[in-house]
A and B are shown apart, each in its own frame.
Chain A
Amino acid sequence: MNIFLKIKNKNRQHPTFWGVVVLFMLVTSNLYAQKGFSLTAGWGKYELTNIGVQWNCSSNYSLSAFAGSNFGLNNNTSWSAGMSFNHVFRKPENWIVKPGYSLGTVFWTYNDDLYLFKTMSFPLMALLEYPVTSFLKVRAEGGIIFSAVMQSDRKQNVTAGYPKRVDGNFAIKLIYKFNRNEQ
């Protein structure tokens, strides 16, 4: 059964969530020794509060994957999972904040008393990356996101809503790199 369908109590975290967190930590612990991997944690309008991993293909390019939740806040239960390709420009070299862009996909669910939506979204984001320390970066992203609804279940006949097909998106992400000497 789809784990998203099991989530009914919006005020309590489902055990599956903590299972995913533990599994994530176990898996990522094996990545600690891997060159070019980073751990990420952040928040985004569509990405929600999320944790993930990033594979730094080079000093400019990276691929990241994440999973997130809204922890049942705002009277709805939402989950997200996604991946993205990120390109950070290293020039001009005298800029501390590096610009770039990010492309990806986000699958997200929205479940409240009115609706259950399952949606696939495609963000096109501009980003700015700031190195806080040699192993910690903060990345801010803003852009546009296109959404296609895969499932909509209306639970009432009082009001009608639908996910925005085109919307603004924004996200903040902390990127912790284990091997600080590696570019």
Chain B
Amino acid sequence: MSNKIVILVLLIFLFGNCEKIKYSVDNPIAGLPTSVLMHRGCGDNPDFIPNTLAAAQFGLSKLDGIELDIQISKDGTLWLDHDNEVRDCDGNIIGCFQEMTDDEILMYGVCNDTVKYNTVESVFELMSTKYPESIISLDVKGQYCEILNTSEVMTQMADEIARLVIKYKMYNKVLVESSSLAFMDELSTQKSIGQCIISLGDIDKGIADAAVTKARGVSLKYGQEELNADVVSLIHKKGYGLIVWVINEPDDIVDVWNSKPDFIETDNAEFKKYIPTSK
């Protein structure tokens, strides 16, 4: 019996190594020159409905690129919107994107001659013809109306993004931001799309999550932890790019710009006015 106990103890000790902390291995990359993306297409410009084709056109005309929130319909089409619910012109909830067909969504897509629901494809078409050098970042929102099928829907969204990138030859121009493991996993083999895992402020969690999801970058909410050039260098040293959001105030613009992240998202169309000039 005592032999069995000894064997048991040995097996238990072999069950795992003793390190509770997992350290990321170095895999250095060169950071990109910082690009500035207009948050939700139009930033805080009240003349546009955020996450629409018109908003995207405004953002593309002002900055290096745009960030847009996306949803998916029952037909598998990617639509622009922040919320998962489709609303009528009075703001009443009609249904959820993934439960509605494209025709049903289009029925509520125009209010007072203003289009409020556009497809991602319409933006890709615009960019490929008029703004081929611009960057677009797609914020993949949670599909909470069908929570049981989240993994399936996320995979479908990833496949559709990959299809559109190929169709419009948007190689190395598309970033995606998500916290969905299924979504990231589906795009993990795509080398021409910048998959970024979302971190709501914890840089170390972002790096750890990026390793787990095989992401190529971290999408970081600004303001929770100090961000400086050394921190960004650390993230690059570990092999990941960095998107920082949402930077609007002049002081923050200076601080974040000096930290040299790869991408900054802003609501401020005058962002570049505050960029410090190099000495």
A contact set with B: CB distance below 8 Å: 45-46, 96-97, 110, 115, 117, 128, 130, 138, 140-142, 149, 152, 154, 157-165, 167-172
Contact = CB atoms under 8 A, between A and B. Distances in A.
A125 B234 CA distance: 37
Contact of A162 (B5, B9, B208): B208
B233 interface: yes
A159 B24 contact: yes
Contacts of A97: 1, 4-5
A128 to B, nearest CB: 6
B273 interface: no
A152 B204 contact: yes
B218 to A, nearest CB: 11
A131 B24 CA distance: 43
A154 B203 contact: yes
A159 B238 CA distance: 8
B205 interface: yes
A160 B13 contact: no
Question: Which of A110, A154, A157, A165 neighbours the largest number of chain B CB atoms within 10 Å of its CB?
Answer: A157
Contacts, number: 84
A115 B1 contact: no
Contacts of B20: 45-46, 110, 163-164, 167
A157 B16 contact: no
B13 A170 contact: yes
Interface of B: 1, 4-5, 8-9, 11-13, 15-16, 18-24, 202-205, 207-208, 212, 230-231, 233-235, 238
Given A160-B238, A162-B205, A130 B5 contact: yes
B205 A164 contact: no
Given A128-B8, A140-B9, A142-B11, A115 B21 contact: yes
A80 B263 CA distance: 40
A149 B24 CA distance: 17
11 contacts: A45-B16, A115-B21, A128-B5, A130-B1, A130-B5, A142-B11, A149-B205, A159-B23, A161-B204, A162-B207, A163-B21
Question: Which of A45, A117, A162 neighbours the largest number of chain B CB atoms within 10 Å of its CB?
Answer: A162
Contact of B21 (A138, A161, A170): A161
A112 B100 CA distance: 53
Contact of A172 (B9, B15, B16, B205): B9
Contacts of A152: 202, 204-205
B49 to A, nearest CB: 38
Given A110-B21, A117-B21, A167 B16 contact: yes
A2 to B, nearest CB: 19
Given A115-B21, A159-B24, A140 B12 contact: yes
A96 B1 CA distance: 8
A142 B14 CA distance: 10
Given A45-B18, A149-B205, 15 more contacts: A97-B4, A140-B8, A152-B205, A157-B230, A157-B234, A159-B23, A160-B203, A160-B208, A161-B23, A162-B207, A164-B22, A167-B20, A170-B16, A171-B12, A172-B9
Contacts of A46: 20
Contact of B16 (A117, A130, A162, A168): A168
B201 to A, nearest CB: 11
Contacts of A164: 19-22
B22 A162 contact: yes
